[in-house]
């Protein structure tokens, strides 16, 4: 029997995050975008919610809640509803902690996870996207090769969130096995590893409050135990699907934010003696947006549900990723059209939603469920 209802714990988490996004994130979204940074006090209040620590086992200092992709998707959607850049910053540590929990050795988890259970925000990051037009996460150009007891990684990355702040980064590279084929592989690399260079902060169209950088890896040597689930392609497919679900859930949040803003504006804005939302063209557009938001969420939840059952969710996660990236941009653009000329000025949030929505077609590995 299919059940579309969240359990009691998930409902409580969702209500908590909804209130935080409404009362804390959204009021700071415009200022954060203008200044290009997230207020430290806001980061701390987000950290105090325990959204990173909750799934880390008690033996490492966390709260011991079992990791759930569906719960992660709910959190990502609601935070992104407040603001995508702030949400990505708050959840960036999960880009490292979730893969560690899923695929890391006991020794590696013991070494790295306690840092994410402290009293203040601890940055984490993942370097997935590469600066080339034909980038494919299933066949990264960044190389990984075995040398003695270690592995050596070389390549270039871009759009790395908090790359200059995180002490450790998860890097996606291509490992050539005996069959001659290149297989994706995740490695944990310390920022102070010889040969690793963090580039200048990128100047992006959207997500201006989120610091992203380039990353150059020149023969960086990492210990064997920092290569996660080496040779296990099923594990790497699962990791890719967790990335897809996380990013897709954030896209739902942005789309819903744009739709809600346009709907409320259409109720209040009057023309020729009536609210513009009563005009058939506007009403039909809003109805389409509402249907698409629900369709997006169902695709995301189906993929997350399969991941929580430890089933192969590649098809579902890819469909969610592709559909949400396209539809979120369309919804944000339609929201701007509902506002007309007002949508183009910065007095309204829709231009920010539109700039952020454009990134979903490009940014892989920016979030994880």
Structure tokens belonging to residue 203 = 């100047």
Check: pTM over 0.85? Answer yes or no: yes
CATH 1.20.140.10 in the chain is located at 233-361
The rounded distance, in Å, linking the Cα atoms of 93 and 13 is 18
CATH 2.40.110.10 in the chain is located at 126-228
Please give the positions annotated as active site.
364
Give the three-class secondary structure for 174: strand
How do residues 282-339 score in pLDDT, each as one tens digit? 999 999 999 999 999 999 999 999 999 999 999 999 999 999 999 999 999 999 999 9
The rounded distance, in Å, linking the Cα atoms of 155 and 220 is 9
Kind of pairing between the strands at 270-271 and 274-275: antiparallel
CA angle 306, 310, 315 (to 5 degrees): 45
With a cut of 50, list the residues of the chain below it in pLDDT: 1
Helices (H), 113-210: none
Q: What is the pLDDT of residue 328?
A: 98
Q: What is the pLDDT of residue 1?
A: 46
Query: How many CB atoms sit inside 10 A of residue 228's CB?
Result: 21
Query: What is the sign of the dihedral through the CA atoms of 277, 294, 253 and 130?
Result: negative
Helices 280-308/233-268 angle, 10° precision: 160
Q: Decide if domain 8-122 falls under CATH 1.10.540.10.
A: yes
CATH 1.10.540.10 in the chain is located at 8-122
Is residue 124 within 8 A of residue 96, CB to CB? The reply is yes
How do residues 236-247 score in pLDDT, each as one tens digit? 999 999 999 999
Q: What CATH number is given for 126-228 in this structure? A: 2.40.110.10
Q: Decide if domain 233-361 falls under CATH 1.10.3720.10.
A: no
How do residues 34-61 score in pLDDT, each as one tens digit? 999 999 999 999 999 999 999 999 999 9
The rounded distance, in Å, linking the Cα atoms of 327 and 172 is 27
Residue 231 CB-half CA count within 13 A: 7
Q: What is the pLDDT of residue 2?
A: 64
């Amino acid at each position: 029997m299919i059940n579309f209802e969240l359990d009691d714990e998930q409902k409580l988490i969702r209500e908590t995050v909804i209130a935080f996004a409404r009362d804390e994130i959204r009021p700071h979204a415009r200022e954060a975008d203008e200044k290009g940074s997230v207020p430290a006090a806001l980061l701390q209040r987000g950290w105090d919610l325990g959204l990173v620590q909750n799934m880390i086992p008690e033996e490492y200092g966390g709260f011991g809640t079992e990791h759930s992709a569906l719960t992660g998707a709910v959190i990502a959607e609601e935070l992104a509803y407040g603001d995508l850049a702030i949400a990505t910053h708050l959840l960036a540590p999960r880009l490292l902690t979730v893969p560690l929990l899923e695929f890391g050795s006991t020794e590696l988890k013991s070494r790295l996870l306690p840092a994410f259970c402290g009293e203040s925000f601890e940055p984490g990051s993942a370097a997935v996207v590469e600066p080339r037009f034909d980038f494919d996460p299933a066949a990264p150009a960044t190389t990984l090769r075995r040398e003695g007891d270690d592995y050596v990684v070389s390549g270039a990355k871009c759009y790395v969130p908090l790359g200059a702040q995180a002490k450790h980064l998860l890097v996606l590279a291509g490992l050539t096995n005996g069959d001659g084929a290149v297989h994706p592989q995740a490695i944990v690399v310390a920022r102070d590893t010889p040969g690793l260079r963090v580039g200048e902060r990128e100047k992006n169209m959207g997500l201006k409050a989120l610091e992203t950088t380039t990353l150059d890896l020149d023969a960086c040597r990492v210990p064997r135990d920092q290569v996660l689930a080496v040779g296990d392609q099923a594990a790497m497919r699962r990791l890719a699907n967790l990335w897809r679900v996380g990013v897709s859930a954030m896209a739902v949040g942005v789309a819903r934010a744009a739709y809600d803003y346009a709907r409320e504006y259409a109720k209040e804005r009057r023309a020729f003696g009536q609210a513009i939302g009563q005009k058939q063209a506007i009403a039909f557009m809003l109805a389409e947006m509402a249907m698409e938001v629900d369709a997006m969420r169902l695709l995301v939840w189906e993929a997350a549900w399969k991941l929580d059952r430890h089933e192969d969710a590649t098809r579902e996660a890819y469909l969610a990723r592709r559909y949400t990236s396209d539809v979120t941009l369309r919804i944000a653009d339609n929201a701007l059209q509902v506002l007309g000329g007002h949508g183009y000025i910065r007095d309204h949030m829709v231009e920010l939603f539109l700039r952020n929505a454009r990134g979903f077609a490009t940014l892989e590995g920016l979030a994880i469920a």
